A and B are shown apart, each in its own frame.
Chain A
Amino acid sequence: MIGQRKLLAAIIGIFALLPLVMVLGSAFGTSRFPMFPPQGFGFGWFVEAWNKRDFREGFIISFNLALLTSTTVTIAALIIGRYIQKTQGLAPKIVFGVLNLPVLVPLIVLATASLQMWKSYGFYLDFRTLFLGHVIVGFPFAIRTVMIGYRNLSPAIEDVARTLGASPARIYLSVILPSMKPSIIASMVLVFVVSFDEVPMSLFLASPRTTPLSVAMFNSMTEELTPVLSAASFVVTGIAVVGMIVLERTIGIARAFGVKIQ
């Protein structure tokens, strides 16, 4: 029975990591076509990826975009989460339900619709339109993570602060926010990773001057497929791994994705 369990875990583990192994392995080859197992051994593709302008510029854009998105969305989630936590009645429930709607709409539909909206009202695609798109994509992740923090707060500490005469602003800033630290960090990191890896929205809303890294990587695949892409994948995967470690340390990866089991 124990053997069976371990076997299942091993199979699922191989399945989960298989594509990653393919990509990371092929980066060390010397052939022009990405292959696994790699042919030859060298670091040439890493140098080439580093020298590729699209990737470097894309990395900077993606990094800024992800940082800005995760900060904005987390602050917005803190405000709206506080409203949902403090207000009784139907209104906060409706707000929460409506804000979670994007989960049910395919991103490609939203991306198509946004592209057409900006175009038909004469807006040029730039960093701002991309940013708004990412905010919509990231928000459901942030509100879920932040609500975990609000629900875990003991109402007693707030009551104590109030009895001691603290103003509402003071209560929020020096009592509630510090005890929410893990879920705030988790929300920032989760939305950062989501935004950094986001494809459909970025694909449609990217402009020649603002092309995020994942779109640049996608383009490099359709233009000329070489292990340059594998080498660039190392950086992207590194960011995801750091994100996973931080998530696991703060609220746990599973809870960040909505699993709560004893």
Chain B
Amino acid sequence: MHPQTIPYEGKLAHPQPRWVVALKRWLWWAALTAPLAAYLIGFLLPLSLMIGFAFRPYSNVTGFGSPSLGAFTDVAASGLIIEAVINTASLSLAVVAVSAMIGFPLGLQFMASGRKLRTLLLIIVITPLLINAVVRTFGWYIFFSTGGPFESMFGLRMHGSMTAVGIALVHQFYAYMVISLLVSLSSIPGDVVAAAKTLGASRFMIFRRIILPYSLPGLVSGGVIVFGLSAGAILAPLMLGGGTMNLLTIHIYRAMLVFLDPQRGMALGTLLLMLNIVVVVLSEQAVRRMRTRSVMKARRSDK
């Protein structure tokens, strides 16, 4: 890379005793492994324990019982929890869809604007991420409260509705969608769009054939992030829904902090984690399939 620089291979001006060198190496490894150990205790250990706990009934009197699917069969047998999973998934999907609907026009405008407007747009988009979540959600609470600004403006009662929660979640998380879309959109070569225009493609055609395929990876990774964050959101459902909303996070919160039923909490936590993993895997497969399909299409049109 820099052929003009010659690595220094000669003796150091002050040769160090061997033990100092050994100590230094040891310190370097200690410095490196300490954060990794903290990470293990703080992240991997609790998660694996959670999955373990979910499969082992525990009581204060007898301690751990033999492994069983008890907590899961309880959860699966309860129509309430199944409904909660469906509610969580559909709410999060709706948030992803709305974020994408905001993200595309915003991203395209962003790419078409000058430096000043770009900076302004980015700051506007990212601002909600840095405002305290309690403050943000409290703001939506006031906005949607009975007799609040929304009700007096539109005459619609939104207090305690899933839509209100959805709007608060979009506000909270759409920036992640915009960010990943921007990364993809900026990879579109400008002359491709220009060429399509000269060949007489309509705006819809350009979007369908150029912009959408190019931004698919960004759309999917943004979607996965927004889905995970929405499915795991606790503040907005608790504050805007009054704690009675049938969502997975509400059930986890109540199992852990209200009813003090940890095994149920662990099983529900595992369920939420699995929901997320399923979404990640499915979306990755979808991207792969679409990519191969577009390659096949290109080959066919070559012939």
Contact = CB atoms under 8 A, between A and B. Distances in A.
Interface of A: 4-5, 8-9, 12-13, 15-23, 26, 33-37, 76, 79-80, 83, 95, 99, 101-110, 112-117, 119-120, 132-133, 135-136, 139, 155-156, 159-160, 162-163, 165, 167, 169, 193, 196-197, 199-200, 203-204, 214, 217-218, 221-222, 229-230, 233, 236-237, 240, 243-244, 248, 253-254, 257-262
B35 interface: yes
B113 A197 contact: no
B39 A116 contact: no
* B interface SS class: helix
Nearest to A17: B127
B183 to A, nearest CB: 7
Nearest to B242: A222
19 contacts: A5-B117, A17-B127, A20-B131, A22-B139, A34-B142, A106-B273, A112-B269, A113-B269, A116-B256, A136-B39, A136-B43, A163-B5, A165-B8, A165-B13, A214-B132, A230-B138, A237-B135, A253-B126, A261-B182
B137 A22 contact: no
A58 to B, nearest CB: 11
Interface string B131-160: 111111111111101011100000000000
A125 to B, nearest CB: 12
B117 A19 contact: no
**Most chain A beta-carbon contacts within 10 A, residue among B32, B139, B182, B229:** B139
A88 to B, nearest CB: 13
Contacts of B175: 257
B252 A132 contact: no
B113 A109 contact: no
B179 A257 contact: yes
B265 A112 contact: yes
A47 B6 CA distance: 66
A16 B127 CA distance: 7
A109 B88 CA distance: 14
B130 interface: yes
Contacts of B265: 112, 116
B2 interface: yes
B125 to A, nearest CB: 7
A5 B136 contact: no
Contacts of A159: 2, 5, 7
A18 B143 CA distance: 8
A257 B124 contact: no
Contact of A83 (B2, B32, B47, B272): B32
A162 B125 contact: no
Contact of A36 (B34, B38, B118, B143): B143
Contacts of A23: 135, 138-139, 142
Interface in B7-49: 7-8, 12-13, 24, 31-32, 34-36, 38-39, 41-43, 45-47, 49
A102 B134 contact: no
A132 B45 CA distance: 13
Nearest to B122: A254
A256 B269 CA distance: 30
Contacts of B266: 112-113, 116
Given A33-B145, A36-B149, A253-B123, 4 more contacts: A34-B142, A104-B276, A162-B8, A237-B135
Given A20-B131, A156-B2, A199-B234, A259 B182 contact: yes
A218 to B, nearest CB: 5
